[in-house]
Structure 1
């Protein structure tokens, strides 16, 4: 019994601590296992600050540190979606802007702040624009232009060769020995026919026509006056692939024969120039023929002797091509016709600076009177002017013409006076021609003298403004290439009514630059800061610079000149030359390059980012062309341009609208 009590007492006192200790050992083992599992789970994420803190707390058995780290991990767990979103955005950003993505990922500097350092959209746009400008700047405009010029030249050359060889190959294939024999026979018949006055002329002409029927295909292109077409070709059997009629506005309805023989027709003319006059035709007889043969023809009554082939073509063919470029006359000469007949649409492209005869339009009044369509004083004065010109070195090598604006009587009178004063050799050397507007149509001279013929009367003369006279004035005023003289005996304000063509011509001759000055004022308002900045750098470098250089209808932004050498500088940029004008600008450059202009282009985007780098190709091109700086070119500039050129960048445009006047202090 005692042993049992002792055993019970021992168990009651000693066993619980033993069991408790055993339980603690088991719990400790479980905790060690759990901690080991935790460490094993955390091992792949080693390096992350919160994970390293958890591992350190576990290994140090630091419950407080573990609780803090675990709480931080819980906070991060709550941010998991945002972190995943951030990572996704960084991945997308890394594809297009890796440097920016790396800075954000590393929270480098301002990129580690909780808010963006600025407007992300604006920054992104700036970077895109910056990279695009860098890409464009890496491409040389001059190299592209040189390549375009080379390929364009090759294209023209290869195209011409291809057309020539294809044409001759086709001609050889379709020409038979019989046709070649007929062609040689036609040539011999034509030579024997001569001027057509021999006894056998009719026989030879008929045989030539019969021979031509067999020979016409042996010649790819025939060129002849309209009045000889019927003599050489049978309209019933002849068919050409293409017939081109030039100066169709001077051809009457008889020229329709040429069109009858064509599969396709090109009619070239100008309905604002002189049409056929139908001199000597019987109006009643013509009307009877129209009524008999043209009953079903639209507008049949108009097919009289005054109807030109070009007029008929305009009615028959609705589509037509208008050529607006004009290369013959200097702008001051052609501008009168441009205003009178073409509503200002003509683009004169002859550069006036290359013509040394000045002024280009000269008014000259004499005290003359008209008598039977002649004005003796004007005739003598015109003859004296021509005689003086042939004796002056300035007119050496020039061709001279005289046009009477009333009738051939005045032209004949002037010609008679001139032939009394000048030798035949002089006449031939200067190709002197005296005539009327119809006689000059299609022709030209370097210098033309217009004689208005009409003299003053008791009051204003009868109005002369109908379409027939308008065409004559248009032709007469557009024949001179370098210089046009207007010789007149009238007081335009007293002797002529407003709107009279004679008054309009005289007033234009007295002030030919009025229209151009209005246009120039408008263009000056459009000058750009870009051009001023470029000009400033060129002037400071000592070059002679001109802005808005006129080349006929066109203007060049800046021109650097030295002697007879000139470099055209075009200031290019979307602000000043929008993309919508690209095609027009390319056409414009092509025209100017045909006039032997050399260009260098400046990009506004490149210039305003790095002016020194942008100007380098300009100076290199000037050196290549042999255009040196002249020291100071400032005296040649106007005070306003000089002041603008000398001011620091950005200041000049502020004074663009100001009025420059000397100060009281001088």
Structure 2
């Protein structure tokens, strides 16, 4: 770094700090100074990370100013941000067409003025591509429709498996692979509260439900007072109507200690406000007391997908509408019925109590797995055989209050080609990267000396603080949940 670059970098930092939120009397002066400093400071830093507004304010509009531009949350970048393609010869666009887009509620996509403007300014472009520049279009969809080299990411690290399970099944054809690490001593991931005697006030944009809002703020205080929720951050999302967020915010600041609001990072908003954000605990307000029309369109799909995937540890749904009054095609019905009867992630099959060491039983693939399973059970550990993860299964998973340990049993009977071995090793490396810890038990060592072969297992369990405990039995009468059919229409409202 040259002396001139060092000075320019410090000048940029100083002027942007003085610019702050852009509300001071001399904001234009500081911004201009930062823009001038950037001309020399840009090459001093290998990678710049900044919001779109800072790019337009401080980066000189020169072609190929960078080697590569990476646009994150591109589904929230409107067509106004196409200038980013001008700044580098290579662009990586990261986004999700299933999440909220800018201008998704724009009512005049098909107005004569919009169509006439597109036809006039983009006359040389085929009509099939021209309509990609509507006010509701976003950078991700625009570029994804023009380039076939799209890499689909499937790993999900934020939410508990039960929480992200609804979005995965409803919007992604069960392609999302939850890799979040957790133990058995955790908050119940999904909870539903039915609010009685609630009444709607207003309609459409002014729709509000004060009784439901009151129940939510009451529960926020309970979360703050609950030792199990110590230091947990909190978010409140109104699924319908911005007016409900105003009611919630007013009650929040009237009744919750400001110190708790700051400490818990409590935020109130609609689904687009939480795009790219997360909280430990999210409380959803369904708002309506009677469903006049099923929500099925793309706008609501995006809103509900975002809202239901912001919670890391626990998701609450407060509803004032009975399940029976919702149309089965309604996204609200889909979310409510899923949360009432979620799939169980940590349960044990009662039939495993009948497993013996001599005859192989399902779901075990070899007797070594059964021997290790039985020895773990004999010592009181909670162990789940054939644990599904990443579209495959781990032989055994030992579950403790604060973590899990994966146990793989290697036997000569597993005849695998070299490619299969490489695939297994690659998969294990990926799971280790996601936080999983593995231990391997070899059949030859176990047959020679069972106690010595299992000693590393007991040491690992002790080191990881995994103590003996029990798991609830799996339900035999779990209601069958199905995702609601989706519509390609842009709007339901």
Q: TM-score range, shorter-chain basis? A: 0.7 to 0.9
2:483 maps to none
* Number of the residue aligned with 2:441: 602
* TM-score normalised according to structure 2 size: 0.81
- What is the aligned partner in structure 1 of residue 486 from structure 2? none
Give the structure with higher Rg (CA). 1
Deviations 1:110-168 (A, max 9, x none): xxxxxxxxxxxxxxxxxxxxxxxxxxxxxxxxxxxxxxxxxxxxxxxxxxxxxxxxxxx
Q: Distance in 2 between matches of 1:366 and 1:471?
A: 25
What CA deviation, in whole Å up to 9, does each residue of 1:462-508 have, x standing for no partner? 12111111111111111111111111111222x11122101011100
With 230-239 and 505-514 compared, the bigger mean Cα shift is at: 230-239
Q: Secondary structure at the match of 2:208?
A: coil
1:589 to partner: Cα distance? 2.0
CA deviation vs aligned residue, 1:217-276 (integer Å, no higher than 9, x gap): 222222111122121122235520011111111111112112210121111111111111
Could you say if the C-alpha distance between residues 543 and 592 of structure 1 is closer, same or farther in structure 2, counting changes exceeding 3 Å?
Answer: farther
2:396 pairs with 1:558 = yes
Q: 2:120 aligns with which of 292, 310, 317?
A: 292
- Closer, same or farther in 2 for the Cα pair 1:340/1:621, shift >3 Å? closer
Structure 1 residues 600 and 184: alpha-carbon distance in aligned structure 2, compared to 1, 3 A threshold:
closer
Alignment partner of 2:49 out of 191, 200, 223? 223
The secondary structure found in structure 2 opposite 1:322 is: coil
1:438 paired with 2:269, answer no
Residues 1:616 and 2:452 aligned together: yes
Q: Which of 293, 297, 315 is 1:466 aligned to?
A: 297
Query: Does 2:319 correspond to 1:481?
Result: no
Q: 2:282 is matched with which residue?
A: 448
What is the CA distance between 1:394 and its match in structure 2? 1.4
Q: What is the Cα deviation at residue 277 of structure 1?
A: 1.7
The Cα shift of 1:198 comes to: 5.7
Does residue 572 in structure 1 map to residue 406 in structure 2?
no
Aligned residues: 452
* Residue 305 of structure 1, CA deviation: 1.9
- CA pair 440-527 structure 1, distance change in 2 beyond 3 A: same
The CA distance in 2 between the partners of 1:635 and 1:281, in whole Å, is 55
For residue 193 of structure 1, report the CA deviation from its aligned partner. 4.4
- Give secondary structure in 1 for the equivalent of 2:191: strand
Task: State the match for 2:482 in structure 1.
Answer: none
Shift of 1:366: 1.2
Q: 1:437 to 1:546 in 2, by over 3 A?
A: same
CA RMSD of aligned residues (A): 3.6
Matched residue SS, 2:42: helix
Give the secondary structure class of the aligned counterpart of 1:380: helix
Shift of 1:637: 10
Q: Distance in 2 between matches of 1:638 and 1:591?
A: 30
Shift of 1:395: 1.3
Go from structure 1 to structure 2 and tell me whether the alpha carbon gap of 1:193 and 1:635 turns closer, same or farther (over 3 Å shift).
closer
Q: Which has the higher helix share?
A: 1
Distance 2:401 2:271 in 1: 39
Residue 246 of structure 1: which of 60, 68, 72 is its match?
Answer: 72
1:536 aligns to 2:397 (yes or no): no
Give the direction of change, closer, same or farther, for the CA distance of 1:350–1:236 in structure 2 (3 Å limit): closer
Q: What is the match of residue 328 of structure 2? A: 498
Q: Secondary structure at the match of 1:240?
A: coil
Compared CA separation, residues 592 and 520, structure 1 to 2 (3 A): farther
| TM alignment of 1:46-57, pairs within 5 A | none
Q: Is the contact made by 2:183 and 2:401 (CA closer than 8 Å) also made in structure 1? A: no
Establish whether residue 513 from structure 1 lines up as the match of residue 361 from structure 2.
no
**What's the offset of the Cα at 1:404?**
0.6
- CA displacement at 1:625 relative to structure 2: 5.5
1:395 partnered with 2:229: yes
How far is the alpha carbon of 1:597 from its aligned partner? 4.0
Q: Secondary structure in 2 aligned to 1:353? A: coil
- Measure the CA separation in 1 of the matches of 2:158 and 2:470: 34
Q: CA deviation at 1:552?
A: 5.8
Map 1:148-163 to 2 at 5 A. none
Shift of 1:215: 3.3
The 2-side partners of 1:189 and 1:315 are apart by: 40
In 2, the alpha carbon distance for the partners of 1:526 and 1:453 equals 44
Measured after TM superposition, the shift of residue 545 of structure 1 is: 5.3
Q: Is the 8 A contact 1:351 1:550 kept in 2?
A: no
Partner residue, 2:478? none
SS of 1:306's equivalent in the other structure is: coil
* Post-superposition CA distance 1:254-304 (Å, at most 9, x none): 121122101211111111111112667975554444333333345122212
- CA shift, 1:612, in A, is 3.5
Aligned residues of 1:249 and 1:270 also touching (Cα < 8 A): yes
Q: Distance in 1 between matches of 2:375 and 2:257?
A: 57
State the Cα deviation string for residues 619-650 of structure 1 (Å, max 9, x = none).
2442475489x9xx8998989xxxxxxxxxxx
Unaligned runs of 5+ in 1: 1-171, 640-666
SS of residue matched to 2:312: strand
Query: Are the equivalent residues in 2 in contact too, given 1:255–1:309 (CA < 8 A)?
Result: yes
> How many Å separate the matches in 2 of 1:637 and 1:412?
41
Give me the TM-score of the superposition, normalised by structure 1: 0.61
Could you say which residue in structure 1 is the equivalent of 2:356?
A: none
Q: Secondary structure at the match of 2:192?
A: strand
